[in-house]
Amino acid sequence: MLCASIHSWIIQDGNYGDFRVGEQAKFALEFYPQTLKASKFREASVECIQASRYRIRGQVIYVGRSVWVIDFGVMAYQNHEPPTTTRKGDWIEGEVDLGIDPFFYFEELHLLPGMPALQYEWRIKAIFLETTPWLSRKDEFGRTIRLRDEQHQSFVEVAETNAWSDNEGDGQYVLECDRIG
């Protein structure tokens, strides 16, 4: 089982339809590093911390100019320039958030020479709508920024996503999935 987040805009853009509990879906995973460092251990692992945040250990299996892939038992990519010291074959560990590929992989990245196949078949076991309260703050330019209050994280289980209506069209979801095959 693995949990991955998805924002309603990804569905609204037409990249996926609304998801329903019990259905099968095919998608790649994108990781968002929180803390990553070199690892002296050479065994892949993944441990859920909360929602879609994981403590992982994995091997770097692809490094490109603006993308890299880690295999921690499941392969995931980051659509961002890898750290300058990262090389194919390195082992890393730390915390990442996992999200469903917005479109980068299925539209472009899969065409890169040497890019591994990252799309998996999944069965959706549960869907959670994030209900964590919003906090507002001003950035350095005086603009209002909305962030979730991570100290009071909360979710409600739903039978399906409703990207156009949940949280006034700004819904954030976590899908609990089993990999098929």
Domain map of the chain by residue range? Answer: 2-180
CA-CA distance, 115 to 108, in Å (whole number)?
A: 11
The pLDDT of residue 118 is above 90: yes
- Sign of the four-CA dihedral 13, 18, 19, 24: negative
**What confidence score (pLDDT) does residue 147 get?**
86
First to last CA, the chain: 13
Q: Average of pLDDT values for 124-130? A: 97
Q: Average of pLDDT values for 136-158? A: 91
The per-residue pLDDT of the chain, averaged, comes to 95
CA-CA distance, 99 to 5, in Å (whole number)?
A: 4
Q: Average of pLDDT values for 116-137? A: 95
CA-CA distance, 21 to 108, in Å (whole number)?
A: 28
